[in-house]
Homo-oligomer: A and B are copies of this chain.
Amino acid sequence: MKAQRVEVFVCPSATPADTSGLQALVDAGKIKPDTLVALVGKTDGTGFHDDWGRIWADAALREWTAKLLGVAKDEVARHVIFVLSGGCPGVITPHIAAVTREWVEDAKPSTEKRLAVGRAGSESIAPEEVGRMGMIRKVASATHEAMEDAGIMDPKDVHLVMVKVPGLTVASIDDAESRGHTVVSHDLTFGPEGAGSYANDAAALGVAMALGEVPASRLSDDVVRRDWDLYSEVAMTSSGGEKRHGEVVVFGNSTASVSPLVIGHSVTKDFIDAQGVRDALRSAGLHFKDGLPDESDLGRLVHVFAKSVIPGSDQIRGQHITLLDDHNAYQIGKALGGMLVASVTGRTTNYVSGGERNSHQGPPGGNIVAAVVRTRE
């Protein structure tokens, strides 16, 4: 039997261009050109629109990866998926997590489900489909393909789906309109009516559709960023104007994997719900004592992936907060998610993206937390 063996290596980054940790993994034989599946990281910088830290990190990592794979820089994306989330406010340590997948021949069948990953590209998504059913359906299809690639049959075994989709640009809007189509928004930002937000949220609903979290019958153009009761518990999505099709990476558990790792997830019920973080870690097999991971278990925690979407309401458990009116809400919202996770994991190298207001990524007011844990053996 041929089985996959997935590993996740977390490398702190001293600067946005720091690839030394990744290179050390290559030198140690842990990352090989044909096993590298994804680089998922938090980059040093403000996280705002003009955050050059993220852009520098992207350039440096792409160059490093091109060299590793022996391909041209603009071909890297065909081989390795990059998910770089800008901004490490507060207690989020800049880092890159390398996800590798090796195929092991003659593996003996596993009884326990272990971490499996799969990926797929979607069909090309036209600008008029961005943030609408067209995008939802194509992301749903790609999610199914990625599950297949991962060897995961049961949607319940999927614990994290990272998706990148096209956003809108001045050029792509012109293109759509010149062909007689409308677009979801002329606002190119990630604001409440921004095309970026619509794209991210349609992608999340695509995952929800694929996994059966939301029945197809309830989906339509009109529900995107309107009906917050429709959401995925495992989709983390991002969008960029320059892309033309979507990319999907599915993380789940499968008996077709001989990985030493397991993934689990949960959601927080609101913005201050540390219990949701604990539930995610438990879901992946950690035990707890007085709110913190059991000392002997803590070393088994490999990585946490969390969203920190800020709530659409100015109330938390009946009390008024002023975050929605804060000029720095985006940055502070992300920082707060970082604290919520770090206060439970006892470490700061957590992947926490977010800051936007409201999303179909996670329940209204709450957020997604996924955790990867090393098994005891």
A interface, CB within 8 angstroms of B: 12, 14-17, 44-46, 48-53, 55-56, 59, 88-94, 185-189, 191-194, 271-275, 278, 288, 290-292, 316-317, 319-323, 325-328, 331-333, 335-336, 339-340, 342-344, 346-349
Q: Which residues on the B side are within 8 Å of A46 (C-beta)?
A: 46, 50, 326-327
Q: Which of A51, A339, A349 has the most CB of B within 10 A?
A: A339
Q: Give A340 Cβ to nearest chain B Cβ, in Å.
A: 6
Which residue of the partner chain, among B14, B89, B319, B348, contacts A272 with CB atoms under 8 Å? B348
Between A and B, 28 residue pairs with Cβ closer than 8 Å are A12-B320, A15-B52, A44-B322, A49-B327, A50-B322, A88-B322, A89-B323, A89-B328, A90-B326, A90-B332, A92-B321, A94-B320, A185-B193, A187-B193, A193-B193, A272-B348, A274-B292, A275-B291, A275-B292, A291-B292, A317-B348, A319-B347, A321-B348, A328-B328, A332-B335, A336-B336, A336-B339, A340-B343
Besides the known contacts A331-B332, A339-B340, 5 further A-B residue pairs in the complex with CB atoms under 8 A apart: A49-B327, A50-B325, A91-B323, A185-B193, A332-B335
Task: Give Cα A292 to B269, complex, Å.
Answer: 15
B325 A49 Cβ-Cβ under 8 A: yes
Closest 6 CB pairs of A and B: A291-B291, A187-B193, A52-B53, A50-B325, A274-B343, A48-B327
Q: Which residues on the B side are within 8 Å of A89 (C-beta)?
A: 322-323, 326, 328, 332
B50 A272 Cβ-Cβ under 8 A: no
Q: Which residues on the B side are within 8 Å of A348 (C-beta)?
A: 272, 316-317, 319, 321
Task: Give Cα A192 to B326, complex, Å.
Answer: 18
A272 B343 Cβ-Cβ under 8 A: yes
Task: Give Cα A205 to B111, complex, Å.
Answer: 61
A91 and B316 in contact, given A56-B52, A322-B44, A325-B50 (Cβ under 8 angstroms) = yes
Q: Which residues on the B side are within 8 Å of A91 (C-beta)?
A: 271-272, 316, 321, 323, 336
Which residue of the partner chain, among B52, B288, B320, B346, contacts A16 with CB atoms under 8 Å? B52
Q: Which residues on the B side are within 8 Å of A317 (C-beta)?
A: 346-348
Q: Give A343 Cβ to nearest chain B Cβ, in Å.
A: 4
Of chain B, the residue at the smallest CB distance from A93 is B319
B52 A327 Cβ-Cβ under 8 A: no
B316 A94 Cβ-Cβ under 8 A: no
Q: Which residues on the B side are within 8 Å of A278 (C-beta)?
A: 290-291
Q: Which residues on the B side are within 8 Å of A44 (C-beta)?
A: 50, 52, 322
Q: Which residues on the B side are within 8 Å of A274 (C-beta)?
A: 274, 291-292, 343-344
Task: Give Cα A321 to B339, complex, Å.
Answer: 12
Task: Give Cα A342 to B339, complex, Å.
Answer: 11
Q: Give A239 Cβ to nearest chain B Cβ, in Å.
A: 17
B50 A336 Cβ-Cβ under 8 A: no
A45 B49 Cβ-Cβ under 8 A: no
Q: Give A293 Cβ to nearest chain B Cβ, in Å.
A: 11
Q: Which residues on the B side are within 8 Å of A288 (C-beta)?
A: 290-291
Q: Which of A12, A16, A90, A344 has the most CB of B within 10 A?
A: A90
A90 B323 Cβ-Cβ under 8 A: yes
B191 A90 Cβ-Cβ under 8 A: no
A272 and B342 in contact, given A290-B278, A317-B348 (Cβ under 8 angstroms) = yes
Q: Which residues on the B side are within 8 Å of A56 (C-beta)?
A: 16-17, 52, 55-56
A14 and B320 in contact, given A52-B52, A52-B56, A272-B346 (Cβ under 8 angstroms) = yes
